[in-house]
Amino acid sequence: MSKINLTIQRKAILEVIQQSHDHPTAADIMERLREEGRSFAYGTIYNSLRYLTDAGMIRELKLGETASRYDARTDEHQHIVCKSCGRVEEVLTELPAEWVSRVAEETKFKVLHADVVLEGMCESCASQ
Amino acid sequence: MSKINLTIQRKAILEVIQQSHDHPTAADIMERLREEGRSFAYGTIYNSLRYLTDAGMIRELKLGETASRYDARTDEHQHIVCKSCGRVEEVLTELPAEWVSRVAEETKFKVLHADVVLEGMCESCASQ
DNA sequence: TACAGATTTATACTTAGTCTAAATCAAAAT
DNA sequence: ATTTTGATTTAGACTAAGTATAAATCTGTA
């Protein structure tokens, strides 16, 4: 029954993520807030990111880098990373359900969820 | 032309990984070596893991946990993690090439590689 | 207005890993 | 057999990302 409690800090952090299209890290978010003149305590950033993630308002992305990134798109989708410039983009083409069910058969797991990180070269890097 | 230089330390670390079937972390490997009475400097473990990874003798797995794991299987395959007990298993069912090429079309990336981490419940956890 | 619970803040701490400089080792050159 | 050279190991300092804690502050209800 817990209703959502969007404090000023949480709202500000959510807005930064919604306005960013590069999947910012916690450090990126802190920096952008500081630039806008509204900086919060270090721990508040992490607390809020967890709160927003748990509330389903953002998604935490673990793409194999050292820091987590955050994404305002919460619908089912995957990500692709450019090895050359580091750019992260959304992948909306859906993973075939048929493949997932074959994995379930192979492993005898009940599969809840699949996270795919593709690596490659983006168009602008490739053209150089 | 650099030939492979397997020092005593590197060989010991490689052996631990080859004999483990749970995808150990650096800390796990250190512990297992200590149990066998052959413990090396902290930094040597990390150095050697990087060396063996670069030499293609092991694979580093980033499964979204805090620490990397290491796998003696270097052939193309994916992983599935049990949310309940943490067990990590291999997934040999191949990702459809057709899906990957549709992603390449969608994103205009040249795709080099796809890493899938599935999450679910393993057979023994599910039966409880 | 006062209290209770939740949130923020500042700061200490933890974990996983990198960096550095000195010591050691191993193989080639003398 | 000894020296030199380059690679590796070691110990320990350092870094990055995130967690934990306790005091201060805020918010909303009695």
**A62 contact residues in B (CB cutoff 8 A):** 62, 64
Q: pLDDT grade, residue B23 (50/70/90)?
A: very high
Q: Which residues contact A17 (CB under 8 A, 6 or more apart)?
A: A24, A29, A52, A58, A70, A71, A72
Rounded Cα gap, residues A31 and A124, in angstroms: 27
Scan residues 38-57 of chain A and list those with Cβ within 7 Å of strand C: 40-44, 47-48, 51
Nearest to A29 by CA among A67, A83, A73, A78: A67
DSSP H or E run through A83: none
Total count of residues recorded for chain B? 128
Last residue of a domain, one of B32, B55, B71: B71
Q: pLDDT grade, residue B67 (50/70/90)?
A: very high
Q: Which nucleotides of D are covered by protein (CB under 7 A)?
A: 7-13, 16-21, 27
Taking residue B4's Cβ as centre, other Cβ atoms within 10 Å add up to 10
Contact A119 B110 (CB under 8 A): no
Handedness of CA B51, B54, B55, B58 (dihedral sign): positive
Given this model, what pLDDT does residue A128 score?
86
Give the structural domain span for B100. 78-126
Residue-wise pLDDT tens digits, A97-112 = 999 999 999 999 999 9
Whether B89 and B56 map to the same domain: the answer is no
Distance from CA of B36 to the nearest CA of A (A): 31
The CATH number of the domain holding residue B86 is 3.30.1490.190
Given this model, what pLDDT does residue B80 score?
98
Residue-wise pLDDT tens digits, A17-76 = 999 999 999 999 999 999 999 999 999 999 999 999 999 999 999 999 999 999 999 999
- Closest Cβ opposite residue B103 in set A91, A110, A111: A91
Given this model, what pLDDT does residue A2 score?
67
Whether B48 and B99 map to the same domain: the answer is no
